[in-house]
Amino acid sequence: MQMSYLLQLVLIGSAGAFGAVARYVLGHLVASRVGSTFPFGTLIINVSGSFVIGVLFALTARHLLSTTGQLILATGFLGGYTTFSSMSWEGVQLARAGSLRASVLYLGENVVLGLLAASAGIALGW
């Protein structure tokens, strides 16, 4: 059965709202535990989101998850959960605070660990 476009939009938007709330809660939890000098929360969020999107794409390729389910979870939930803009802002803030090395390390970790996590998710889901 084909899901209506309007229903897809509602489900993607709702999933995105849940993803944004999950990002906020996890980011707050990590910052309260380890401090906010280095943005570990966003790093954990982006890497875990990369892993999950890898799993979702592998499950969809194996026909264990529908393309509609993938769309709702990847575009909706993970779109709200992961955050390129916060990562970029935090990288700039580290550099502005005089921590150019930490800024480069943080941005590089997000990219490299994100790629590795997505690859691991695909391997796990395959």
Q: Would you kindly state where each structural domain of the chain is located, as residue ranges?
A: 5-125
> What pLDDT, on a 0 to 100 scale, did the predictor assign at position 60?
97
> What pLDDT, on a 0 to 100 scale, did the predictor assign at position 46?
97
Q: What does pLDDT average to over the chain? A: 96
Which residues make up each annotated binding site? 79, 82
DSSP for 25-46, please give it: HHHHHHHHHH-SSS-HHHHHHH
Q: Which helix (H) or strand (E) covers residue 71, if one does?
A: none
DSSP for 88-115, please give it: HHHHHHHHHTT-HHHHHHHHHHHHHHHH
Q: What confidence tens digit (pLDDT) does each residue in 99-113 have?
A: 999 999 999 999 999
Categorize the per-residue pLDDT at 3 as very low, low, confident or very high, splitting at 50, 70 and 90. confident
> What pLDDT, on a 0 to 100 scale, did the predictor assign at position 1?
52
Summarize the confidence of residues 42-68 as an average pLDDT.
97
Categorize the per-residue pLDDT at 57 as very low, low, confident or very high, splitting at 50, 70 and 90. very high
Which residues make up each annotated binding site for Na(+)? 79, 82
> What pLDDT, on a 0 to 100 scale, did the predictor assign at position 29?
97
